[in-house]
A and B are shown apart, each in its own frame.
Chain A
Amino acid sequence: MKLIAAMSGGVDSAVAAARAVDAGHEVIGVHLALSSNPQKYRSGARGCCTIEDSHDARRAADVIGIPFYIWDMAQEFHEGVVENFLAEYAGGRTPNPCLRCNEKIKFAAVLDRAKNLGFDGVITGHYAQMQETELGRMMFRAVDPGKDQSYVLAVLNTDQLAGAHFPLGDTVKDDVRIEAKKRGLYVANKPDSHDICFVPSGDNAGWLRDRLGSETGSIVDESGNKLGEHNGAYTYTIGQRRGLGLTVPASGGEPRYVLKIEPKTNTVVVGNHEALAVNAIVGDRAIWCGPVPESDTKYRGFAQVRAHGSPLACTYSHDGIEISVSLDEPLFGLAAGQGLVIYDGDRVVGSATVSRTE
């Protein structure tokens, strides 16, 4: 096959590209420039948008022996990921920009471009496994539970997954680093990126405040009694306990948590831990990563709501648009906008965006 290897400049995508070459594919390396001003999203060696990272990617491509190009995806990234991130927070939701980037950039803009230029698909260094089964191509968790990235890939539909290649899903990260070293890839010991790549400081709240302003609002209890003030409701996350700065203590002295963010009134609602309990989740924008389950039929499976969250036993069903999940045990703290991913064992069934909880 003719494949485009999306190369961030990190160790994973470099080894993924090298493995694809070993497998006999014709591979071309592409580094995605996600900022029109590479310094803007600068994040040292940890992010994916610096001059150094593009050089690292180029050097890795040279060592592997594949052609290398830089594709300017700055506009697509800004419109599809950064603006969406801000709009979601402004709307009181908690988005995951990595999911969005996979859905709109890596496996949409890049994959489409690759296909139209005559390539068959895109390789990335994500940790997930694709398997051909009797029911078609399906996605499974990676063998390394600490690195499994199937959650952030669950936004890909079957068409997108048909062109997606994840050569690292069967390997643990430590072995990938060892392999990189053996292959002479000097990014072998490059640190992993953890932060949101366009918020290099890691100060999510400060970054949002700079862009969305810091309008003072009320922090209230569930009955509407004012307990304190905040400088921008969107800088809080559901389930947050620390840094609330409440001036009125709880009657029983128990800790209080953010339960709800109301962007229209710029209000943050807090309450006790029990009030965070979620027993049922509804998500919209359903995407199926394999065969579509029968609608209005109840299935047993697992729900995961964070990239490295635990899979929660549940019963789920869908009506074609929304996925409804009933959890066996309550989950504490879930915000609208988070990704809801459904698993059948290790197989990724599909995903939705959390719209409401009970």
Chain B
Amino acid sequence: MTIYLDHAATAPINEVAIDAITKAMRNLGNASSVHNHGRAIRKDVEDARHALSELVGASASEVIFTGSGTEANNLAIKGFYWKAIAANPKRKVIVTSAFEHHAILDPIQWLVEHESAEQVLVPINHSGFIDLDFLKDLIANRGSEIALISVMHSNNELGTLQPIAEVVKLAGQIPVHTDAVQSFGKVDFDFAKLDLTAATISAHKVGGPLGIAALILKRGLDLVPILHGGGQEREIRSGTLNAPAIIGFSAAAIHALENRTLNFTKVRKLRDYFISELKKAVPDCTINSISDPALPGIVNVTFPGTENDAMLLLLDSEGISCSAGSACSAGVPRPSHVLVAMGLTEEQADASLRISIGVTNTQSEIDQVISVLPSVIQRARKALDVSRLA
């Protein structure tokens, strides 16, 4: 028996999405074609786009489909940067938070290394929120140099919901992008209400298929594309539209939003139960994630004296899947930059795990995890003690 506690990495695909995709895959046609086959597919795609846009608080034309959340983030970062410097070469500063996903940090870093961009990281406080005072001062002092502000809607390792409305207010005329892949479908997220310039959402985090995501981009804005070709998606993202995936994305999102309150309550209850049992079973653990305002299912916890790669191996051998920070391209575990940004030492970050609970989890699964954790921690501690002595 296996227990999946890594819903922030990817969530189980929903049956409604599987049905919608399966049906769509039987339909022939390229959505860009003018003939009846193409038109039929196009209609399904546009229906899906329309439904999705309503769920996200945008208009249909503001939804630009991409192949992944990473692609949408790259498009936003590079697109806004290129647009800004074309209009005013002094706008070279990209502002983001210190604990963004690598799909934001790495394209910025690429622009720093190759195109003379300047990155400014907004610090994170000990509770896992961005420092708004820092941002306010930065905008006051260097606002005219800023090309884009990109701050995630919720952090993927901590779950903390960031004050995006305040960021947008402070930004004034500066474009604001938010990576909302963890938030969309789980908590309230409304593009128009937040008055955002751009946002990223992704299907596989809400019970949809892999390989489809969207950049929500304010109407009337053009971005310099990364992919050139057939001119699909407002000429911002060329490439044949992945109709079945788009239709599956929409079906999953509709289902997630319809059940959002129910799911939120259920997942949060499981999370609170897990935390209370965890504190009893492993009294010296430290919970790094706060419960509110946050996503309902993420628990980030430090088990002092352990290394997370040993913990993951031991939990995996018990059939339990969860995760730690990120790994480099060769797969070498690295201390979580998220936890380091919020003030943990590298040693503490190395000793931390992210458990992300989803709606398919049960209390008995949580009980089972709690029952094996003390012996797993004991073995992981022993392994670390020895490597320190060596």
Contact = CB atoms under 8 A, between A and B. Distances in A.
Given A113-B310, A113-B386, A38 B328 contact: yes
Contacts of B332: 33, 36, 38, 70, 72, 74
Contacts of B331: 31, 33, 54, 58, 70
A211 B310 CA distance: 34
A270 B104 CA distance: 60
Contact of A67 (B316, B386, B387, B390): B316
A109 B390 contact: yes
Interface in B281-296: none
Nearest to B334: A72
Interface in B312-342: 312-314, 316-317, 327-333
B3 to A, nearest CB: 16
B313 A69 contact: yes
Contacts, number: 61
Contact of B329 (A31, A38, A58): A38
Interface string B345-380: 000000000000000000000000000000000011
A71 interface: yes
Q: How large is the interface on B (under 10, 10 to 19, 20 to 34, 35 or more residues)?
A: 20 to 34
A28 interface: yes
Contact of B330 (A69, A70, A76): A70
A113 B387 CA distance: 7
Contacts of A33: 330-332
Contacts of B327: 70
Nearest to B380: A117
Contacts of B379: 116-118
B387 A109 contact: yes
A193 B233 CA distance: 49
B387 A112 contact: yes
Most chain B beta-carbon contacts within 10 A, residue among A36, A58, A112: A112
Contacts of B333: 70, 72
Interface string A150-176: 000000000000000000000000000
A51 interface: yes
A52 to B, nearest CB: 9
Nearest to A114: B383
A205 interface: no
Interface in B265-293: none
B382 interface: yes
Interface in A1-51: 28, 31, 33, 36, 38, 50-51
A199 B317 CA distance: 36
A108 interface: yes
Given A109-B387, A112-B386, A117 B329 contact: no
Contacts of A36: 332
Contacts of A51: 329-330
Nearest to A32: B332
Contacts of A72: 309, 332-333
Contacts of B382: 116-117
A286 to B, nearest CB: 21
Interface of A: 28, 31, 33, 36, 38, 50-51, 54, 58, 67, 69-72, 74, 76, 108-109, 112-113, 116-118
11 contacts: A33-B330, A33-B332, A50-B330, A51-B329, A67-B317, A69-B309, A74-B332, A76-B390, A109-B387, A112-B386, A116-B382
Interface of B: 309-310, 312-314, 316-317, 327-333, 379-380, 382-383, 385-387, 390
